[in-house]
Structure 1
Amino acid sequence: MAIEHVKDIENGDYNKGVGDLEQPFLEWREGSSGSLGVVLFSTFVAVCGSFEFGSCVGYSAPTQSGIREDLNLTLAQYSMFGSLVTIGAMIAAFTSGRIADFIGRKGAMRMSAAFCIAGWLAIYLSVGALSLDIGRFLTGYGIGIISYVVPVYIAEIAPSNLRGGLTTLNQLMICTGSSIAFVIGTIITWRNLALTGVAPCFALLVGLFFIPESPRWLAKVGLEKESEVSLRRLRGKNAEITAEADEIQISVQSLRKLSKAKLTDLLEAKYIRSVIIAVGLMLFQQIGGINGISFYASQTFVAAGITGNVGTLAYALIQVPVTIIGAVLMDKSGRRPLLLVSATGTFLGCLLTGTAFLLEGQQLLLQWVPILAVSGVLTYIASYSIGLGPVPWVIMSEIFPLHIKGLAGSLAVLTNWLGAWAVSYTFNFLMSWSCPGTFFVFSGSCALTVLFVAKVVPETKGKTLEEIQASINSQLK
């Protein structure tokens, strides 16, 4: 999961938030000053946390049968285990912003890595459901912090012409971590897979010793000299940083003058449509079934009569390249077209998978069941990865004005994690009730997503933040 709702505030660049996203993927303009190596290395260290996020999310899919068999867990116990990661992340959604502001971006990343390491070790050493659940909850809390602080840190250290491309790496590494966990989980035991989750945490902890703290956070806490040192290190010793340093100071002073936003402010007419768009996108992103399908992919394939490992490997191999395609298309085709294509694809994927289970239950065309099931799940994952996965986070970062961006973004993120928990917890029960019914319900949710995007979501590509706000408000009149 990538959280970008604070990046324009943090960068003190209120008019370039969208423009930065419109830059070509990782373009370095000729003649621009700065130390590209330090920025790229710092980004690489930070996205080790994103990789950890993906590893945690992908863990439960290939391990379900092994964990249930070794620890004698019931379906309800395993469903609780699978969903606890989202409960931990929901709690983190309330605290991650304050933690990152209090102990810094690097401090928050260290804290998240510590929680994840403790969680993975608890899972590895588990002899029953309790220690397993504690470990899952701890990793969930850790990735909840990671999901907030990593994109914020990247946005705060990157030059404006690189910010869009570099922040996209966050989502890409989440998908990569998830896919690798899927693949490795088909080869090694669930305990050893838990140990592999510790590796990116250690890489993050070690790397943090060699990268600078965010110059914008340093300025926010009154450490102006340290902020300039950090900025100099990021831009290069011969770079002219006076303008950017002044911009950071102006941004910090502007933030200090603003009164604290209240929850009731979100109900005002000038904000309500933006809130509906962001919360709606986050809700529809989840109720289409992504966390149930990804957490329990192996079980889904087995239920359709396919070897779990084969289906899981196919799932893993398709996710990363499609995410890359989506990152490239986002700034070419626009947000709305990607969302419409993506939601339509997830609808068709669920419809195919539900049809496969229906045919299996009726003992009809059994030779087609595995083909339809695999095609349906892979169509769903490819479609989700190209649009519904990354685009809602980008739109959320664009549509809120400065004054309420943090509060409204937190509400949208909380909605996202609540939806993730509801789907991941109920998926196994829904499958026990009716396999075809489960996927037909998800297909109905995806159809509603198409309607929501078509009727409510504006196109934000190529517009300044002021133009987006003017467009949204004009539709209220």
Structure 2
Amino acid sequence: MDIQNERRRLLDAEDGDEDPTGLISEQEAYLSKVKNRNLYLATFASVLGPMSFGFVLGYSSPAIPELTSIADPRLRLDDNQASWFGSIVTLGAAAGGLLGGWMVEKMGRKLSLMFCSLPYVFGFTMIIAAQNVWMLYIGRVLTGLASGVTSLVVPLYISEMAHERVRGTLGSCVQLMVVMGIMGVYLGGLYLDWRWLAICSSIPPTLLMVCMCFMPETPRFLLSQGKRREAEEALRFLRGPDAPVEWECARIEEACSEQGSTFQMSDLKDPGFYKPLMIGVMMMIFQQMTGINAIMFYAENIFEQAHFKESDLASVIVGLIQVVFTGVAALIMDKAGRKVLLIISGVAMAISTTAFGVYFYLMSKFPPPSSLSLLVLDKAAEEPHADLAWLALASMAVFITGFALGWGPIPWLVMSEIFPYKVRGIASAVCVLTNWSMAFIVTKTFKDMMILLTSAGTFWLFASMCILNVVFTIAFIPETKGKTLEQIEAMFRGTSGP
């Protein structure tokens, strides 16, 4: 097929001269011959990275209680050290985002994924062999560095491999595997001490390196390097033997040749670059300003207030809710669309954080009775407090459900879809750096916000941010469901895609 003639015909059709269904039917005919088995296999291999990332994020929750009460004074953490042990990962991840942006351009997506497994394993090895607090910190920074690289590379790898029918579902698997990793480390924490937990946490990144040896590089990266034969082989592996991959290869090649291959400063004036960059950065800011870290921070206390004595088990329940609803989001992503799920997610989180603010406001009016007062007060004195605890439980369940449906997985998915190929690495690095920097700022200033604004005021601030992210979604975020990456690029440039 002559791609140039077909594209010209489509442009004429959009002017009213011809119905463009010829191209649509040809695209549908191509996709009908595609077999997804190897694509699913490559996706599974790559998302071992986000699972490793989840183990890193969740590791501090079961490990910190042990490390703050350990007999060895060289490893015992005080409150400040425990805070740094939990949050220093975000600094490593921010640096990893910048490193990942360089790696994907110089080394490619596949090699970047393979190499990022090394700091995961080295980091957990440092923690396992730790003889002092600084070795624990170094281990956490290394695993954070790997997490930052992973959070950039894996969405790009999947989006550049997948076709438009399943890209949303497969892209959502990134966040699904993160929350599965978190739940896995919570479950492991019920039975293992902190050293054995670190050993188990090093298994997924080891499997990542082994499995990725047998997976292809993305066709788009290979074409950007002038390796057309290798790109066709990669597409044949990913699409199956029956698909006429030369057609898809030519379509990608044409889009790459139109853009040019290198980023220049003049590209900053191109709406095809600055519009998606603005959207990507703002989505990362809004994701962290929803209050997800604050909710998770309070989860253990809230369960205790509601008389759930096993706080470790409560963490597993929270992780299970995240897994279930992130899985639901993955299943419906390519049917419901990104924009609808973001709006539903934002509204649910706005309602739940508002309710949390009400909970803390009422808690300040009806503080729980002290043990001394319980000796002289009847059981009715406890009832307002018990009722409020269940309000908090309901709010937390709604919030986690809403976050898992939209603002958890979709910012990472959209980031991997909207940037032009030649700036995909650097623009994604800016987004990842923004996300992890905001995560660090919110985590480290959270206690100060609680003092300055009160607990209720802090959560009402989060609620207002959730309302803003709904408005931002409606006004600025485009729907990318069912579009090829080349069509999405053309939409931002204001032209017709190939």
- Counterpart of 2:461 in structure 1 is 441
Alpha-carbon separation, structure 2, partners of 1:132 and 1:60: 11
After superposition, residues 53-452 of structure 1 pair within 5 angstroms as 53-70=53-70, 71-236=75-240, 240-255=244-259, 257-262=260-265, 266=268, 274-294=276-296, 297-298=299-300, 301-302=303-304, 306-307=308-309, 308-361=311-364, 362-363=366-367, 365-397=384-416, 399-400=418-419, 406-427=425-446, 430=449, 435-452=455-472
Q: Secondary structure at 1:388's aligned position in 2? A: coil
- Counterpart of 1:8 in structure 2 is none
Alpha-carbon separation, structure 1, partners of 2:493 and 2:243: 37
Alpha-carbon separation, structure 2, partners of 1:228 and 1:48: 26
Q: CA deviation at 1:116?
A: 0.5
Aligned residues: 444
Superimposed CA distance per residue, residues 270-313 of structure 1 (whole angstroms, 9 cap, x where no aligned partner): 86554443322211110122234336743564577643224212
Task: Tell me the amino acid that sits aligned with residue 402 of structure 2.
Answer: S
Q: 1:299 to 1:137 in 2, by over 3 A?
A: farther
Task: Tell me the amino acid that sits aligned with residue 121 of structure 1.
Answer: T
Alpha-carbon separation, structure 2, partners of 1:58 and 1:342: 23
| Structure 2, gaps ≥5 residues long | 1-9, 11-27, 369-383
Residue 453, structure 1, aligned to residue 451, structure 2? no
Judge which range, 229-238 or 373-382, deviates more. Answer: 229-238
Q: Secondary structure at 1:138's aligned position in 2? A: helix
Task: Quote the sequence identity (%).
Answer: 34
Q: Indicate if the aligned counterparts of 2:270 and 2:493 stay in contact, CA closer than 8 A.
A: no
Alpha-carbon separation, structure 2, partners of 1:252 and 1:470: 14
Q: Indicate if the aligned counterparts of 1:120 and 1:135 stay in contact, CA closer than 8 A.
A: yes
- Counterpart of 2:375 in structure 1 is none
Q: CA deviation at 1:30?
A: 8.3
TM-score normalised per structure 2: 0.77
Q: Indicate if the aligned counterparts of 1:79 and 1:424 stay in contact, CA closer than 8 A.
A: no
Task: Tell me the amino acid that sits aligned with residue 317 of structure 1.
Answer: L
Alpha-carbon separation, structure 2, partners of 1:141 and 1:467: 34
Q: CA deviation at 1:246?
A: 3.6
Q: Indicate if the aligned counterparts of 1:274 and 1:400 stay in contact, CA closer than 8 A.
A: yes
Q: Secondary structure at 1:69's aligned position in 2? A: coil
| Structure 1, gaps ≥5 residues long | 1-14, 16-26, 473-477
Q: CA deviation at 1:139?
A: 0.7
Task: Tell me the amino acid that sits aligned with residue 421 of structure 1.
Answer: F
Q: Secondary structure at 2:216's aligned position in 1? A: coil
Q: 1:332 to 1:441 in 2, by over 3 A?
A: same
Judge which range, 301-310 or 409-418, deviates more. Answer: 301-310
Alpha-carbon separation, structure 1, partners of 2:418 and 2:220: 22
Q: Secondary structure at 1:59's aligned position in 2? A: helix
Q: Indicate if the aligned counterparts of 1:55 and 1:180 stay in contact, CA closer than 8 A.
A: yes
- Counterpart of 2:33 in structure 1 is 32
Superimposed CA distance per residue, residues 429-448 of structure 1 (whole angstroms, 9 cap, x where no aligned partner): 55677544543433333233
Superimposed CA distance per residue, residues 347-386 of structure 1 (whole angstroms, 9 cap, x where no aligned partner): 2322333443444443261112332232222221111111
Q: Secondary structure at 2:179's aligned position in 1? A: helix
Q: Indicate if the aligned counterparts of 1:350 and 1:443 stay in contact, CA closer than 8 A.
A: yes
Alpha-carbon separation, structure 2, partners of 1:220 and 1:470: 20
Q: 1:133 to 1:292 in 2, by over 3 A?
A: farther
Task: Tell me the amino acid that sits aligned with residue 104 of structure 1.
Answer: G
Task: Tell me the amino acid that sits aligned with residue 453 of structure 1.
Answer: T
TM-score normalised per structure 1: 0.80
Q: Indicate if the aligned counterparts of 2:160 and 2:218 stay in contact, CA closer than 8 A.
A: yes
Q: Indicate if the aligned counterparts of 1:266 and 1:275 stay in contact, CA closer than 8 A.
A: no
Alpha-carbon separation, structure 2, partners of 1:283 and 1:189: 35
Q: CA deviation at 1:408?
A: 3.9
Q: Which has the larger radius of gyration?
A: 2
Q: CA deviation at 1:50?
A: 1.7
Q: Indicate if the aligned counterparts of 2:97 and 2:432 stay in contact, CA closer than 8 A.
A: yes
- Counterpart of 2:13 in structure 1 is none
- Counterpart of 1:469 in structure 2 is 492
Q: Secondary structure at 1:89's aligned position in 2? A: helix
Q: CA deviation at 1:241?
A: 3.2
Q: CA deviation at 1:419?
A: 0.9
Alpha-carbon separation, structure 2, partners of 1:300 and 1:28: 54
Judge which range, 372-381 or 238-247, deviates more. Answer: 238-247
Alpha-carbon separation, structure 2, partners of 1:183 and 1:443: 31
Alpha-carbon separation, structure 2, partners of 1:214 and 1:273: 25
Superimposed CA distance per residue, residues 403-429 of structure 1 (whole angstroms, 9 cap, x where no aligned partner): 655544433332212111112233355
Q: CA deviation at 1:85?
A: 1.5
- Counterpart of 1:19 in structure 2 is none
Q: CA deviation at 1:248?
A: 4.7
Q: 1:457 to 1:154 in 2, by over 3 A?
A: closer
Q: Indicate if the aligned counterparts of 2:164 and 2:481 stay in contact, CA closer than 8 A.
A: no
Q: Indicate if the aligned counterparts of 2:87 and 2:440 stay in contact, CA closer than 8 A.
A: yes
Q: Indicate if the aligned counterparts of 1:48 and 1:200 stay in contact, CA closer than 8 A.
A: yes
Q: Indicate if the aligned counterparts of 2:127 and 2:198 stay in contact, CA closer than 8 A.
A: yes
